[in-house]
A and B are shown apart, each in its own frame.
Chain A
Amino acid sequence: MSDVVLEVRDLVKHYPVRRGLILRRTVGAVRAVDGVSLALRRGSTLGVVGESGSGKSTLARVLVGIEEPTSGQVLVDGTDVSTMSRADRRALRRDVQMVFQDPYTSLDPRMSVSEIVGEPFAIHRTIPRGGRDRAVRELLELVGLDPDHANRYPHQFSGGQRQRVGIARALALRPRILVCDEPVSALDVSVQGQVVNLLADLQAELGLSSVFIAHDLAVVRNIADSVAVMYLGRVVEDGPADSVYDGARHPYSQALLSAVPVADPTVRLSDGRGILLEGDPPSPVSPPSGCPFHTRCWLAPTLPEASVPVPEGEEVQARRVPPSCSGEVPLLVGAGGHHAACHFARPLAEVRR
């Protein structure tokens, strides 16, 4: 068996945009995930970061099989999921489980905690009815909840405790892979750390591999071994976490890292330090041509390549970027496992020189 437990290749997920009440014509597509390739190594954590609309949650849903990809492959232990039989796929569901973002809406308010955590046993019949109560108690203990609270309902728990219930449910079938979609973003800072540490401990204890999706770069920093930065449905940079955080090469990753507010009062916003991006991320319905980031890129207009003469008859744009940025989709390239999808990728230190 190879070292890679979960892999996606050229994954694409488009959602059709339809018009009309009777004749539902398809007039376009939301290109939520637009050609993503990633690999998760055994026992490691892959962090996926990006802003809203970057496609990171859609990616999670495809990984656990809630959504079918439009094209591309999802491989578990090297086997393409789409070629599997129904029975094999059902078994696979046990191996890849998900922790959802919102502990307030992802738990059924009318089910007790023991019913919620025990439901996977009822569906997959991995444990006979008689043994379920004990299994549920063990799971609750594993995630740091009082097993005597098994008969309580979700509203009787705090946000952090509910997220623990969600984690217990995800672990019920002894999965090998955990996909966590913004597992701590709804929690208070003082509680976030508890849940992140719990996930890290469980991972070591149970030998899990996990995908950790979050918009909070600092949280991902403290749990991920490798990291992928997404923008408009594509991975723009990926690599070992230390390498990406300490030496980001893509101008978007650099801007994203610099926009994270740092809890240090000597770094003032009014200092004008940090890279300030203009505008909002474009719509995934009509992503820009070429590099998806070129419309907001802070680096492109400053490059000497941006001032090439404009062909006759063409309008001179106020914001000029190198023709390759607006014309060609950059590929993920790099060395040492650290890749960036930018025609002009380089560490920030070199840019500033």
Chain B
Amino acid sequence: MTGAAPLLEVTDLAVEFRTPGGVVRAVDGLTYQVEAGRTLAIVGESGSGKSVSSLAVMGLLGPTAHVTRGTARLNGTDLLALPPREHRARCGQDVAMVFQDALAALNPVLTVGFQLTEALRARHRISRGEARQRAVELLDLVKVPHARERVRDYPHQFSGGMRQRVMIACALALDPKVLIADEPTTALDVTVQAQVLRLLAEIQAERQMGLVLITHDLGVVAGVADDVTVMYAGRAVEQAGVLGAFRSPAHPYTRALLQSVPQLGSRTRLPVIPGRPPGPGDRPAGCPFHPRCALAQDVCRADPPPPLVEAAPGRWSACHFAGDVLRGAAVPAETTPEGDPR
């Protein structure tokens, strides 16, 4: 983290769902910030709360969910304290979101040209011609070929990768300062994923946007993120620059997760984390990772979940033994990139 004033600053966010089985806390005290021109990856497995937290920031939670704690400051204004109308107006304008499944997120009965300029037309009086022109520009921006003709097409007429580009264009329509992308390439094939990730990185660098990239794929994190927040069971368990987090994780979960990623290099038996990630409704007492943690001690089971503490400069970890993990986790220097073409 560079020390520049953050664009988006989420502090101690908590989100609860009311379910027939009782109140479930999906996000429990999440803090992160993203600066202009930087990419923060929020990584976690299913049920970790990574998607719910971004929906909360965007004011898109359903009727059963509500924010019980915390702030989300965008340029100093707390979005979560705004009346819903104003919150909605800010979203799209200053902070926009790209969703995982473009086929579900785009309206199938409206042309992409219409959807690209919907936000623009809702806020400004512009003519039909201007709107069309703007839609073409947006498609050009995300490198959809033949943009002038394609604005008249419907979402189903695009391939998966192109549809994802259309959704990115929609999010960029009002020139947001922060873009939240929730698993933007998970549904795509790997060769197409590479194209879309590169496009996102280019646009972000060019516009000096802050990018929050939500993903479960550690390869994607390593490829594009500057900073990383690792979530487990509704909490951030580690925050660091991406190099530090990958080289010498300061939380046992991060370390175990990195080890469990299958490698291309050679055939090995996959190291695994025993058990499974807890759902929001069945989180254990104490540190939520303790039933799966190789280092767990009595304190991990008995004490309340440890808070994020700075184990070393810029290295935050929510583990009672963060310092030990950090020191013991040095990755040998010969772990260099795979032989890569060109």
Using A192-B270, A219-B262, A241-B267 as known contacts, say yes or no to A267 and B223 having CB atoms under 8 A apart. yes
Q: Quick check: A190 and B277 within 8 Å, CB to CB?
A: yes
Q: For residue B222, which residues in chain A have a CB less than 8 angstroms away from its CB?
A: 261-265, 267
A272 to chain B minimum Cβ distance, whole angstroms, is: 8
Which of chain A's residues has its CB closest to B200's CB?
A269
Q: Is B260 an interface residue (CB 8 A)?
A: yes
Docked pose: A264 CA to B201 CA in angstroms: 17
Which residue in B191, B195, B341 is a CB contact (below 8 Å) of A352?
B341
Contact code string B192-212 (vs A, CB < 8 Å = 1, else 0):
111101100110010000000
Which of chain A's residues has its CB closest to B204's CB?
A270
Within 8 A of B (CB), among A248-293: 254-270, 272-278, 280-281
B269 to chain A minimum Cβ distance, whole angstroms, is: 6
Q: For residue A272, which residues in chain B have a CB less than 8 angstroms away from its CB?
A: 342
Within 8 A of B (CB), among A296-338: none
Docked pose: A245 CA to B45 CA in angstroms: 28
Which of chain A's residues has its CB closest to B243's CB?
A265
Q: For residue B336, which residues in chain A have a CB less than 8 angstroms away from its CB?
A: 264, 266
Within 8 A of B (CB), among A142-195: 158-161, 188-194
**Interface size classification for chain B:** 35 or more
Docked pose: A95 CA to B270 CA in angstroms: 28
Number of chain A residues close to chain B: CB under 8 A: 56
Q: Quick check: B191 and A255 within 8 Å, CB to CB?
A: yes
Q: For residue B267, which residues in chain A have a CB less than 8 angstroms away from its CB?
A: 221-224, 241-242
Docked pose: A241 CA to B190 CA in angstroms: 19
Q: Is B224 an interface residue (CB 8 A)?
A: yes
Q: For residue A275, which residues in chain B have a CB less than 8 angstroms away from its CB?
A: 341-342
Q: Which of B23-31, B97-105, B109-117, B157-165 contacts A (4 or more CB under 8 A)?
A: B157-165
Q: For residue A267, which residues in chain B have a CB less than 8 angstroms away from its CB?
A: 222-223, 337-338, 340
Q: Is B119 an interface residue (CB 8 A)?
A: no
Docked pose: A216 CA to B195 CA in angstroms: 17
Within 8 A of A (CB), among B297-314: none
Q: For residue A218, which residues in chain B have a CB less than 8 angstroms away from its CB?
A: 261-264
Q: Is B257 an interface residue (CB 8 A)?
A: yes
Docked pose: A260 CA to B261 CA in angstroms: 12
Docked pose: A203 CA to B311 CA in angstroms: 44
Q: Quick check: B342 and A274 within 8 Å, CB to CB?
A: yes
Using A188-B46, A348-B341 as known contacts, say yes or no to A245 and B270 having CB atoms under 8 A apart. no
Which residue in B189, B224, B268 is a CB contact (below 8 Å) of A268?
B224
Q: Quick check: A189 and B257 within 8 Å, CB to CB?
A: yes
Which residue in A160, A190, A261, A281 is a CB contact (below 8 Å) of B217?
A261
Which of chain B's residues has its CB closest to A273's CB?
B340
Using A193-B272, A260-B190, A280-B161 as known contacts, say yes or no to A269 and B198 having CB atoms under 8 A apart. yes
Q: For residue A161, which residues in chain B have a CB less than 8 angstroms away from its CB?
A: 276
Q: Is B65 an interface residue (CB 8 A)?
A: no
Q: Quick check: A265 and B242 within 8 Å, CB to CB?
A: yes
Q: For residue A258, which residues in chain B have a CB less than 8 angstroms away from its CB?
A: 340-341
Within 8 A of B (CB), among A208-231: 215-219, 221-224
Which residue in A192, A194, A200, A260 is a CB contact (below 8 Å) of B264?
A260
Q: For residue B279, which residues in chain A have a CB less than 8 angstroms away from its CB?
A: 158
Among B205, B225, B256, B273, which residue has the most Cβ atoms of chain A within 10 A? B273
Q: Quick check: A264 and B159 within 8 Å, CB to CB?
A: no
Which of chain A's residues has its CB closest to B47's CB?
A188
Q: For residue B270, which residues in chain A have a CB less than 8 angstroms away from its CB?
A: 192-193, 196-197, 222
Q: Quick check: A190 and B273 within 8 Å, CB to CB?
A: yes
Using A262-B223, A263-B219 as known contacts, say yes or no to A189 and B276 having CB atoms under 8 A apart. no
Among B242, B245, B263, B264, which residue has the most Cβ atoms of chain A within 10 A? B264
Among A158, A223, A255, A269, which residue has the most Cβ atoms of chain B within 10 A? A269
Within 8 A of A (CB), among B32-80: 45-46
Q: Is A82 an interface residue (CB 8 A)?
A: no
Which of chain B's residues has its CB closest to A348's CB?
B341
Q: For residue B160, which residues in chain A have a CB less than 8 angstroms away from its CB?
A: 52, 280
Q: Quick check: B257 and A190 within 8 Å, CB to CB?
A: yes
Q: Is B258 an interface residue (CB 8 A)?
A: yes
Q: Is A138 an interface residue (CB 8 A)?
A: no
B291 to chain A minimum Cβ distance, whole angstroms, is: 13
Docked pose: A215 CA to B190 CA in angstroms: 8
Within 8 A of A (CB), among B234-280: 242-243, 245-247, 256-258, 260-274, 276-277, 279
Q: For residue B272, which residues in chain A have a CB less than 8 angstroms away from its CB?
A: 190-191, 193-194, 197
Q: Quick check: A188 and B342 within 8 Å, CB to CB?
A: no
Q: Quick check: B340 and A274 within 8 Å, CB to CB?
A: yes
Using A190-B256, A262-B223 as known contacts, say yes or no to A269 and B201 having CB atoms under 8 A apart. yes
Q: Quick check: A352 and B220 within 8 Å, CB to CB?
A: no
Q: Quick check: B341 and A200 within 8 Å, CB to CB?
A: no
Q: Quick check: A260 and B219 within 8 Å, CB to CB?
A: yes
Q: Quick check: A188 and B262 within 8 Å, CB to CB?
A: no
Using A51-B189, A277-B191 as known contacts, say yes or no to A263 and B218 having CB atoms under 8 A apart. yes
Q: For residue A51, which residues in chain B have a CB less than 8 angstroms away from its CB?
A: 189-192
Which of chain B's residues has its CB closest to A266's CB?
B337
Docked pose: A217 CA to B45 CA in angstroms: 20
Q: For residue B257, which residues in chain A have a CB less than 8 angstroms away from its CB?
A: 189-190
Q: Quick check: A191 and B201 within 8 Å, CB to CB?
A: no
Would you mind naming 9 contact pairs between A and B with Cβ atoms under 8 Å apart? A51-B191, A190-B260, A260-B219, A262-B338, A265-B222, A266-B336, A267-B340, A276-B198, A280-B159
- For the complex of A and B, list the 7 residue pairs with the smallest distance between their C-beta atoms, beginning with the closest: A261-B219, A193-B270, A51-B189, A193-B272, A218-B262, A190-B273, A188-B45
Q: A52-B189, A263-B219, A276-B198 are in contact. List 11 more A-B contacts (CB 8 A).
A: A51-B191, A159-B46, A190-B276, A219-B262, A221-B266, A261-B222, A267-B223, A270-B202, A273-B342, A276-B195, A280-B160
